[in-house]
Amino acid sequence: MRIILLFSFLLVLSGPRASANTLTSDSLEAKDDYQVMYEFIKDIHDPDIALDVILSSHVHITQVEDQELLEYLLASLEEMRLNLSNRDLKQINFIPFNELPRKKRSEIDPEDLDPEKLYVMYHKDREMYGLYVNEQVIQSFTLVSKGNHQAHFVTY
C-alpha cells in the first residue's frame, strides 16, 4: 500500500500542476505570498489532509526521484503539524525578511534567494518557521544552520 501511495505521489509531483492555484494567469496574479503561506499552514493544521497531498500541492520539489528527500520532507511536515496542532491560526503572522530586526536578519543568509520572498512565521511572539515563497508555491520551509551563527534556506 505504501508503495502505491508513494508512486501516486510521485506521479502527481512529476506531472503538470493542475491545482486551483495555477489554473489561470489571473489567479496567479491575484494570489499573494501571504495567501500561499496561510493556505500551506492551514492545510498542515488540518489532520484530515494527508501530508503527501500537502507536499504535492504546496511545495515545489525538483528532486522528485530522491526518496530520502521525500521522506525527510514528509517527516518535517509531520513535525510542523505536531507543532501547529494546538495553536490558533489566527495568531500566526508572517514577517518579511526585510522587516525583521537587524540581529535576526544577520542570522539568516539569503544566499542567492530573493529576500523579498523570504518570511519568518511567528505564533504570537514565538518564531516558528522560515518560509521561502516563489512562483505561487512554497520553495522552502526549512532553515538549517550553516555555522557561524547563520542559517540558510534549503530548496528542494
CA–CA distance, 57 with 35 (Å, rounded to integer): 14
Model confidence, pTM: 0.78
Query: What pLDDT sits at residue 27?
Result: 43
Per the model's pLDDT, the better-predicted residue between 70 and 15 turns out to be 70
Residue 96 has which C-alpha cell?
Answer: 518579511
Least confident of 22-31, 86-95, 126-135, 144-153: 22-31
How many Å apart are CA 70 and CA 132, to the nearest integer? 18
Report how far apart the first and last C-alpha atoms of the chain are (Å, whole number): 26
| Domain boundaries along the sequence of the chain | 2-153
| pLDDT at position 144 over 50 | yes
Cα–Cα distance for residue pair 124/93, rounded to 1 Å = 8
Q: How far is CA 99 from CA 7, 12, 40, 153, in A?
A: 41, 36, 22, 17
